[in-house]
């Protein structure tokens, strides 16, 4: 239920600092490590000698050595050497296309010949000194599409995140969903409302009054397979809202990369990119902590929702206007998956 | 393996004080809460919008609101409202007949049209100021019928509860099992024996000598589906035993409601009703603690017995005279279940 | 995937000191206890009355009493008595041939009529005052044959046990595997090398210089079903190695009994027998602790290897020269298993 010929965020550089990382992505058990010249490599996590996971091995000078009997594996999946053995005839293991970019390690779990690094989305905020980024990672036991639904319908903030970013006015503002090329965009604008606690803190952090009405916006951008960037912010009311001058607003981008592990679990990479006070690392840390707490509030709901859906496979869910973002995102995913299946079943000409 | 057209104890009022309770009963995931006018309501624990469990929601003024996107559910399973939505066409969810009585919430997990509150057993001790009640709840991983067997054959007290209520003389006293209308009654009388620790404490608590011989009795009353009331007590020997004057005896009713969760797990509501010193709340608490410890001793035996039976489905168990209570109770249950199955398979006339 | 008509180590005497022990062996749930005259008994862990595990019962004067309702079971699997019951017609339960010898309890999980105590391997070190033994027990979640592979290819010491017994020279020394009657013997000799930490400590413990080159040896002896004795040691270099005079060497036997629990889990009984300073109990304890730490390092590798193999049943593993010990051991096991299957399927003449 996920496309495989596409790029997913697999991990972050801090996860492969001094030893290999084993992680399952789209059902594939993969080992990630820094190979020759510090380039990230991704291989099947299976030693061809006796089936040990290579992720329990060691890396030295870009060489991955199996931690069981010392087989040395090359970054293309071909065995390099093994003590006292001739390895020429040893079977190879799968290698996965992998790219380090924008502070993330991206992996292509499908057919390697189709991988094109140019398809990795451009993240302007990740390469600009005017922006700062902080984020984290959660393992969530639900279908990655339930997380897409969650993020494409922010109505839930009123209920799940009532003490931080939720407020009743979210419910009352109309929501608009449209396709923009390959993106699904869902937006909501709430004018002349009082800011909720998270945004009051952000206003203060940016030196702005926090006890006055604001115009608030949420613009969710989905692109396949599961990248969601949400423009969020508040401006002092009546100054143009989303388009207001930076001196009267505070805004940022909620960054979400959602990577299927199995059909009912995923890795959730979350964070926030902001273009105010980018040099303030204490602020980055404070925002990261607050955001981590907020996103953790979704976990129980999502995991229990998953259990309910597994128990009731026959039930059809509603698709309201507020669900349109998730529904359209799924249509795009379904088209990707169908195209992959068709390609797999087409005999070569 | 359980009847569904019958009343089970679902929970106690303290479990639905300020938020809804999700509990699985006879395979049905149900949310319990206090609806309009403080009446208890029981619904399928499944929001028709996106499948979230309603038990993660909130209750205010008798309204149950889904904690994900704010759908408001009515106590009959019909959607009341949802922010910015017209809900007239929304699908309904199942409601379960539910009654609050005798300090318990009773639920009917089967066909609602058959539910008749008059079938809830009458509990005289629960409505009399001369009686006091204290109890608790355990989750046990075994078929609820193994718990019925356990309570209808108190021989096990000698072995499982040797330090409190067990004593060798239980084994040696003959047991009698008979049908009384719809009840199975198993009784055992042990005359002129020394009281075990639990009963010595009770004698002292009632101002009676505890170092003299007593006549002891155990009279287990089973009624379908899984209610077991056990008259227990001791009287100073030779004064009439069960029929002796209250001034020379101490007696109570062990109260057991056993509610299937799945075919191999159940909720066990246990307690003790007594008609001496009913105003003594410290005594109630002390008895409750002692009883909780005793009933916890059965857990490992029951759960390991269940695992053994699952591993050996081909083994037939013995049905001795001491097992007659459980055997007869199962026959009554089997008849209920057969009748339900027959009714389900009968086309309407 | 294991022979059943053979002797396995089931437990050690300290595990049945004051109550019965329940343990699953080759898929059979068995209760072990000391019966009449202190003889060890092994029975199906299933009370014929109601299926309770007999291992939750009690033992007094060699009588095993079920902890649920007091059935008394005889050591041959025939019911002895039960309070107020005539037990003549009660069904029997299986008894398993069991022998206490060499400080271990040995069980025969297969056909009892074939059991012959003379087939228990002779352990000379266990009956000689010149030897001391210390050991322990681990539960490991993998096929017992992966542990056989592990112990018959000590190349892994370099990688898994790098801080204690591993050293690079193991890799570089040729390995030799041969059949000796019913045994598989894999040996490796490393001459004129510096001793690793574990052996330096042992040299010091035996009053020998630890900062000089040594000749080191490892001789693994496998016998069916899963007993592996490994002669290990170091001698000051050039004095004859394995054959050197005891005054210039330190040596011992690594003792491994590997008992299948299920097809993907086993009980691992490990220890070390040594013939120097046998009276030094502090040394025994120190060696035992060090060895326990070392063998615990294998656990994660073995359990993760098992998971990888379960996930990839189609992958064929390599069988290199270093794997020859495990490969030959498996051939012997396969022959045993085939013979058992053939015998089971042969109709009596």
pLDDT of chain B, 349 residues: tens digit per residue: 999 999 999 999 999 999 999 999 999 999 999 999 999 999 999 999 999 999 999 999 999 999 999 999 999 999 999 999 999 999 999 999 999 999 999 999 999 999 999 999 999 999 999 999 999 999 999 999 999 999 999 999 999 998 888 999 998 899 999 999 889 999 999 999 999 999 998 899 889 999 999 999 999 999 999 999 999 999 999 999 999 999 999 999 999 999 999 999 999 999 999 988 999 999 999 999 999 999 999 999 999 999 999 999 999 899 999 999 999 999 999 999 999 999 888 766 5
In a domain, B64, yes or no: yes
User: What pLDDT is attached to residue A163?
Assistant: 86
Clarify whether residues A174 and A314 are in a common domain: yes
Secondary structure letter of residue B324 according to DSSP = H
Helices then strands, counting H and E runs in chain B, come out as 6, 17
> Count of CB atoms within 10 A of residue A292's CB?
16
Clarify whether residues C85 and C129 are in a common domain: no
Closest Cα in chain B, distance from residue C19 (Å): 14
Residue B52 φ/ψ, nearest 5 degrees: -65, 150
Whether A70 and C159 lie within 8 Å, measured CB to CB: yes
Q: What is the pLDDT of residues A245-292, one digit of tens each?
A: 999 999 999 999 999 999 999 999 999 999 889 999 999 999 999 999
Clarify whether residues C216 and C68 are in a common domain: no
Clarify whether residues B81 and B154 are in a common domain: no
Whether B45 and A301 lie within 8 Å, measured CB to CB: no
**pLDDT (average), residues A287-303:** 94
User: What pLDDT is attached to residue A63?
Assistant: 93
Which among C155, C300, C312 has the least Cβ separation from residue A51?
C312
Which among A171, A174, A308 has the least Cβ separation from residue B51?
A308
CA–CA dist B99, B59 (Å, integer): 19
Whether C84 and B172 lie within 8 Å, measured CB to CB: yes
In a domain, C346, yes or no: no
Q: How many domains is chain B partitioned into structurally?
A: 2
What chain C residue is nearest to B308 in terms of C-alpha separation?
A: C51
Q: Which residues are paired to B234 by β-bridges?
A: B216, B250
Residue C132 φ/ψ, nearest 5 degrees: -120, 150
User: What pLDDT is attached to residue B349?
Assistant: 57
Q: Can you say how many angstroms the Cα of residue B1 is from the centroid of all Cα atoms in its chain?
A: 17
Question: Is residue A205 very low, low, confident or very high in pLDDT (cuts 50, 70, 90)?
Answer: confident
Q: Is C198 helix (H, G, I), strand (E, B) or coil?
A: helix
Whether A51 and C174 lie within 8 Å, measured CB to CB: no
The residue that leads in pLDDT, A347 or C215, is: C215
Does the complex come out with an ipTM higher than 0.90? yes
Instruction: Work out the angle between the directed axes of helices A144-152 and A281-311 (0-180°, nearest 10).
Output: 120
Closest Cα in chain A, distance from residue C5 (Å): 29
CA–CA dist B159, C25 (Å, integer): 27
User: What pLDDT is attached to residue C348?
Assistant: 62
Which residues are CB-neighbours of A256 under 8 A, at least 6 positions away?
A147, A151, A227, A228, A229, A230, A268, A269, A270
Q: Which of C110, C152, C130 is nearest to C256 (CA)?
A: C152
Give A315's contacts in chain B (Cβ within 8 Å): 46, 51
Residue C205 φ/ψ, nearest 5 degrees: -60, -25
Output the domain CATH number for residue A308. 3.90.380.10
pLDDT at A160 over 70: yes
Whether A68 and C312 lie within 8 Å, measured CB to CB: no
Structural domain containing residue A88: 8-119
Output the domain CATH number for residue C69. 2.102.10.10
Percentage of residues of chain C with pLDDT beyond 90: 91
In a domain, B299, yes or no: yes
Which among C149, C160, C171 has the least Cβ separation from residue A50?
C149
* Domain termination residue (choose one: C96, C119, C142): C119
List the chains bordering chain C where 3 or more Cβ pairs fall under 8 Å.
A, B
Clarify whether residues B95 and B170 are in a common domain: no
Clarify whether residues C226 and C197 are in a common domain: yes
In a domain, A15, yes or no: yes
Question: Is residue C253 very low, low, confident or very high in pLDDT (cuts 50, 70, 90)?
Answer: very high
Phi-psi region of A100 (alpha: psi -120 to 50; beta: other; left: phi over 0): beta
Closest Cα in chain A, distance from residue B5 (Å): 22
What chain A residue is nearest to C311 in terms of C-alpha separation?
A: A29
**pLDDT (average), residues C94-115:** 97
Contact B224, B336 (CB under 8 A): yes
Q: Can you say how many angstroms the Cα of residue A289 is from the centroid of all Cα atoms in its chain?
A: 18
In a domain, B137, yes or no: yes
Residue B233 φ/ψ, nearest 5 degrees: 170, 170
Clarify whether residues B137 and B98 are in a common domain: no
pLDDT at A241 over 60: yes
What chain C residue is nearest to A50 in terms of C-alpha separation?
A: C317
Clarify whether residues B50 and B133 are in a common domain: no
pLDDT at A89 over 70: yes
Instruction: Work out the angle between the directed axes of helices B324-345 and B144-152 (0-180°, nearest 10).
Output: 150
- Where are the alpha helices (H) located in chain C, listed in sequence order? 144-152, 157-160, 168-172, 197-205, 281-311, 324-345
* Domain termination residue (choose one: B76, B96, B119): B119
| Torsion, CA A326, CA A327, CA A329, CA A330, rounded to 10 | 120
Task: Give the tokens for residue A234.
Answer: 């508040």
Contact B53, A302 (CB under 8 A): no
CA–CA dist C16, C7 (Å, integer): 19
With 0-12 / 13-18 / 19 or more C-beta atoms within 10 angstroms meaning exposed / middle / buried, residue A100 is: middle
Question: Is residue A152 very low, low, confident or very high in pLDDT (cuts 50, 70, 90)?
Answer: very high
In a domain, B349, yes or no: no
What chain C residue is nearest to A27 in terms of C-alpha separation?
A: C311
Task: Compute the Cα dihedral for A26, A27, A33, A38 and give only its sign.
Answer: negative
Clarify whether residues C13 and C96 are in a common domain: yes
Long-range contacts of B12-21 (CB under 8 A, 24+ apart): B12/B103, B12/B104, B12/B105, B12/B137, B12/B269, B13/B100, B13/B103, B13/B105, B15/B105, B16/B40, B16/B105, B18/B59, B19/B58, B19/B59, B20/B54, B20/B55, B20/B56, B20/B57, B20/B58, B20/B59, B20/B64, B21/B55
Clarify whether residues A112 and A176 are in a common domain: no
CA–CA dist A169, A184 (Å, integer): 23
Chain B residues bordering chain A (beta-carbon distance below 8 Å)? 29, 45-46, 48-53, 56-57, 65-70, 82-85, 90-91
- Where are the alpha helices (H) located in C44-139, listed in sequence order? none
Clarify whether residues B103 and B137 are in a common domain: no
Which residues are CB-neighbours of A115 under 8 A, at least 6 positions away?
A5, A7, A97, A108
Q: Which of C332, C201, C334, C168 is nearest to C276 (CA)?
A: C201
User: What pLDDT is attached to residue C349?
Assistant: 57
Q: Is A168 helix (H, G, I), strand (E, B) or coil?
A: helix
CA–CA dist A146, A265 (Å, integer): 10
In a domain, A349, yes or no: no
User: What pLDDT is attached to residue A349?
Assistant: 57
Question: Is residue C343 very low, low, confident or very high in pLDDT (cuts 50, 70, 90)?
Answer: confident
Q: At CA C210, angle to CA C205 and CA C215, rounded to 5?
A: 105
CA–CA dist A211, A193 (Å, integer): 10
In a domain, C249, yes or no: yes
Chain C residues bordering chain A (beta-carbon distance below 8 Å)? 149, 153, 155-156, 158-160, 171-172, 174, 300-301, 304-305, 308-309, 311-312, 315, 317-318, 320-323
**pLDDT (average), residues A44-72:** 96
Contact C237, C192 (CB under 8 A): yes
- Of the residues B19, B27, B52, the best mutation for testing chain A's interface (the one with the most A CB atoms within 10 Å of its CB) is B52
Give C300's contacts in chain A (Cβ within 8 Å): 56
Whether C53 and B308 lie within 8 Å, measured CB to CB: yes
Clarify whether residues B82 and B188 are in a common domain: no
CA–CA dist C12, A333 (Å, integer): 59
Q: Which residue has the tokens 């505070």?
A: A250
Q: What is the pLDDT of residues C259-293, one digit of tens each?
A: 999 999 999 999 999 988 999 999 999 999 999 99
- Of the residues C51, C63, C66, C72, the best mutation for testing chain B's interface (the one with the most B CB atoms within 10 Å of its CB) is C51
* Domain termination residue (choose one: C59, C84, C119): C119
């Amino acid at each position: 239920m996920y496309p495989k010929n596409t790029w997913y965020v697999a991990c972050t550089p801090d996860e492969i600092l001094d030893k290999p990382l084993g992680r399952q992505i789209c059902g594939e058990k993969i080992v990630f490590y820094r190979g020759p010249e510090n380039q990230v490599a991704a291989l099947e996590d299976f030693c061809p000698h006796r089936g040990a996971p290579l992720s329990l091995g060691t890396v030295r000078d870009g060489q991955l050595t199996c931690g069981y009997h010392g087989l040395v594996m090359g970054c293309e999946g071909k065995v390099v050497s093994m003590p006292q053995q001739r390895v020429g005839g040893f079977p190879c293991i799968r290698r996965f296309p992998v790219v380090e970019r924008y502070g993330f390690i991206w992996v292509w779990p499908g057919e390697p010949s189709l991988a094109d690094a140019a398809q990795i989305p451009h993240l302007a905020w990740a390469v600009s000194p005017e922006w700062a980024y902080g984020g984290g990672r959660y393992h969530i036991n639900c279908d990655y599409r339930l997380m897409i639904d969650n993020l494409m319908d922010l109505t839930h903030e009123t209920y799940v995140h009532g003490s931080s970013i939720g407020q009743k006015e979210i419910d009352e503002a109309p929501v608009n969903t449209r396709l923009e090329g390959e993106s699904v965009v869902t937006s909501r604008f709430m004018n002349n409302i009082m800011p909720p606690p998270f945004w009051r803190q952000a206003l203060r952090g940016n030196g702005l009054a926090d006890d006055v009405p604001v115009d608030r916006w949420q613009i969710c951008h989905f692109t396949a397979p599961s990248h969601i960037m949400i423009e969020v912010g508040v401006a002092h009311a009546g100054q143009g809202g989303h388009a207001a001058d930076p001196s009267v607003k505070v805004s940022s981008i909620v960054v979400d990369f959602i990577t299927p592990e199995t059909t009912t679990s995923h890795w959730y990479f979350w964070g926030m990119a902001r273009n105010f006070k980018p040099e303030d690392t204490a602020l980055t840390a404070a925002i990261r902590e607050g955001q981590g707490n907020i996103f953790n509030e979704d976990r129980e709901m999502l995991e229990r929702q998953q259990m309910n859906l597994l128990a009731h496979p026959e039930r059809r869910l509603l698709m309201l206007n507020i669900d349109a973002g998730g529904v359209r995102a799924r249509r795009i995913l379904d088209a990707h998956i169908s195209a992959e299946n068709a390609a797999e079943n087409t005999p070569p000409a």
